[in-house]
Amino acid sequence: MPQPDARIKVRGARTHNLKGIDVAFPLGALTTVTGVSGSGKSSLVSQALVELVAAHLGHEIAAEGEDEGEALERAPSSPVGGRLATGTEGVKRLVVVDQKPIGRTPRSNLATYTGLFDHVRRLFASTKAARSRKYGAGRFSFNVAGGRCDTCAGEGFVMVELLFLPSVYTPCPTCHGTRYNAKTLEIEYRGKNVADVLGMTVDAAWEFLADEPHAHRSLGVLRDVGLGYLRLGQPATELSGGEAQRIKLATELQRSERGNSLYVRDEPTTGLHPADVGKLLTQLNGLVETGNTVVVVEHDMRVVSASDWVIDVGPGAGDEGGTVVAAGPPAEVARAHGSRTAPYLVRALAGD
Ligand SMILES: Nc1ncnc2c1ncn2[C@@H]1O[C@H](COP(=O)(O)OP(=O)(O)OP(=O)(O)O)[C@@H](O)[C@H]1O
Ligand SMILES: [Mg+2]
Ligand SMILES: [Zn+2]
């Protein structure tokens, strides 16, 4: 656990409209960065803080859970001026969570991204029928030849070329969209084949795999962030931005025990229904309780009022912004003069 007063101190942060500012982010706490649109929140958090910490750690920014070895791609941006003063000893790892798709091909899905599918494939391989046929876990993958449907190469659909019209995709005529060949689908675990499991929702799979502690727990985390309705096999390309972000968060939460990570999220409540914001807060607090540091750019005053520390950027947009208007616990920032956030924070703290 970090020292109570330990902070990541950024000195002279300068990029876009940031005016060479000094900012301190408490370690082992949930910090929200607020301010009007264009005030410089993303410049401060997603650019200055991320780039300075990444440069300090001297390694790639962790893109947790990305499958197929994809590195986190970040848009080239204007250079960041500034340096880190202290606090970096409390940060061993930097994780940036965003709303980018969790995979760019339909071969990636909720189950493969979270690692759950490895577990499911091993379960199928461990059945008596699979062992007698010498089917290993790889047999139950739709990404490698063997168990998958040969007609569509495990895609589940085929492209039909139409004269004078754009090509269209239709369900594969051989496997009818299941992605697997008939022999593979003969293997059942508790009366379900592997395609049936991919067709289950998170809620259904959570019940189905109740006796498998690891799978049950990771499915439980997905339920906790309001994703119980998603199907395990839903292609990553068909997930909404908010869904993708929550899947990344859920995947991180399963690994968060180690602590000493800095989590940075730009507007995590985007895509979340008000009813799900409380769940998100629970998850963010969970990261903090295990010794991690969380910094989020946030407009939702319920999250801001429940955070440990607020950094209000502004006072206005563009050239009128780029400075720290107020920083402190929510109750303190709520009393700050000249802060456009303060009046809203007052109301949120009063429970409105
Ligand atoms: N790549 C860029 N190059 C130059 N200026 C930029 C760049 N990105 C943002 N800016 C400018 O810097 C200022 C701060 O932008 P920033 O994205 O940090 O705002 P923000 O507080 O995150 O706003 P929002 O709430 O709308 O996301 C804005 O005036 C913006 O136009
Ligand atoms: Mg922004
Ligand atoms: Zn097929």
| 274 found inside a domain | no
The CATH number of the domain where 85 resides is what? 3.40.50.300
On whether both 93 and 207 belong to a single domain, the answer is: no
Identify the burial level of 298 via C-beta atoms within 10 angstroms of its C-beta, where 0-12 means exposed, 13-18 middle and 19 or more buried. buried
The percentage of residues in the chain with a pLDDT greater than 90, rounded to a whole number, is 59
On whether both 85 and 128 belong to a single domain, the answer is: no
On whether both 85 and 36 belong to a single domain, the answer is: yes
Indicate which residue's Cα is closest to atom 7 of ligand 1.
Answer: 16
Q: What is the pLDDT of residue 56?
A: 87
On whether both 128 and 176 belong to a single domain, the answer is: yes
Give the structural domain span for 66.
Answer: 28-102+260-269+283-346
Q: What angle do CA 38, 333, 9 make, to 5 degrees?
A: 75
pTM above 0.85, yes or no: no
What length is written for the chain? 352
Residue 211 CB contacts under 8 Å (≥ 6 apart), including other chains: none
Q: Residue 43: pLDDT above 60?
A: yes
Q: What is the pLDDT of residue 350?
A: 93
Regarding predicted confidence, which is higher, 241 or 244? 244
* Ligand 1 pocket: which of 15, 34, 39, 266 to mutate (most atoms within 8 A of CB): 39
Residue 38 beta carbon below 6 angstroms from any ligand 1 atom: yes
Q: What is the pLDDT of residues 92-149, one digit of tens each?
A: 888 887 767 777 777 889 999 889 999 999 999 999 999 999 999 999 999 999 999 9
| Cβ proximity of 129 and 186 under 8 Å | yes
**Mean per-residue pLDDT of the chain:** 87
Residue 320 beta carbon below 6 angstroms from any ligand 1 atom: no
Q: What is the pLDDT of residues 141-179, one digit of tens each?
A: 999 999 999 999 999 988 877 767 777 788 999 999 999
| Cβ proximity of 232 and 198 under 8 Å | yes
Stretch 248-275: mean pLDDT, rounded? 78
| 277 found inside a domain | no
Q: What is the pLDDT of residue 253?
A: 74
Q: Residue 65: pLDDT above 70?
A: no
Nearest to 341 by CA among 318, 311, 306: 311
Residue 17 beta carbon below 6 angstroms from any ligand 1 atom: yes
| Cβ proximity of 20 and 89 under 8 Å | no
| 319 found inside a domain | yes
Residue 283 pLDDT grade (very low, low, confident, very high; cuts 50, 70, 90): confident
Identify the burial level of 342 via C-beta atoms within 10 angstroms of its C-beta, where 0-12 means exposed, 13-18 middle and 19 or more buried. buried
| 131 found inside a domain | yes
Regarding predicted confidence, which is higher, 183 or 70? 183
On whether both 51 and 115 belong to a single domain, the answer is: no
| 246 found inside a domain | no
Q: Could you give the number of structural domains in the chain?
A: 2
On whether both 82 and 135 belong to a single domain, the answer is: no
Q: Residue 335: pLDDT above 90?
A: yes
Residue 184 CB contacts under 8 Å (≥ 6 apart), including other chains: 135, 139, 140, 147, 148, 193, 194
| Cβ proximity of 210 and 192 under 8 Å | no
Residue 38 CB contacts under 8 Å (≥ 6 apart), including other chains: 17, 316, 317, 318, 321
The CATH number of the domain where 220 resides is what? 1.20.1580.10
> How many A from CA of 120 to the centre of ligand 2?
39
